[in-house]
Amino acid sequence: MAFTASKDATGVYLIRVEGQLIVGNRQELKTAVQEALEHAERRFVIDFSRTGYIDSSGLGALVSISKKVREQGGELRLSGLNEDLRSLFELTKLDTLFAISDTAERALGGFPA
């Protein structure tokens, strides 16, 4: 997995995940979000439009990240899940836990001004 992080004009922290989010690399993403939280970032979008696969450990990492962000008074949105990945979120009912948008742009626009 590789990921890129950037901040949009409104200050939302956007992380794009490339490749796979799996048991062998989930910690990298958790660390990236944790470091951003420590730098006072509170609004996050994690985009999966270039992600082929998320395993159950990756799903669990997203649950942990979401919890940490909420505990800090922040908000996390997900975007860009393909049909297969979305089916995993639906199967595990995690689609009820996360705000999920079709595209990163829509997710970024979903935060209150």
Partner 1 sequence: MTAPGPASLRLCLRRRRVPSASGATVQVSLRVPSDVGCIEEVVDLLMRHCCSDSWLCRRRRFNLRVAVAEALANAIVAGNREDKTKWVEVQAELRGDQIRVEVTDQGPGFDPTLVAAPIDPEELDRPNGRGLFLIRHLVDDVRFNPQGNSICMTLLRH
Which residues contribute to the site for partner 1 (CB under 8 A)?
20, 22-24, 53, 55-57, 59-61, 63-64, 66-67, 84, 88, 91-94, 96-97
Helix (H) or strand (E) holding 85: helix 83-91
**Smallest separation (angstroms) from partner 1 to the CB of 109:** 26
**Smallest separation (angstroms) from partner 1 to the CB of 9:** 32
Closer by beta carbon to partner 1, 5 or else 22: 22
3-state SS of 18-68? Answer: EEEECCCCHHHHHHHHHHHHHCCCCEEEEEEEEEEEECHHHHHHHHHHHHH
**Smallest separation (angstroms) from partner 1 to the CB of 60:** 4
Give CA–CA dist 78/100, Å, rounded: 5
Closer by beta carbon to partner 1, 4 or else 82: 82
Give CA–CA dist 85/102, Å, rounded: 12
**Smallest separation (angstroms) from partner 1 to the CB of 49:** 17
How distant is the alpha carbon of residue 64 from its chain centre? 11
Closer by beta carbon to partner 1, 39 or else 93: 93
Closer by beta carbon to partner 1, 84 or else 102: 84
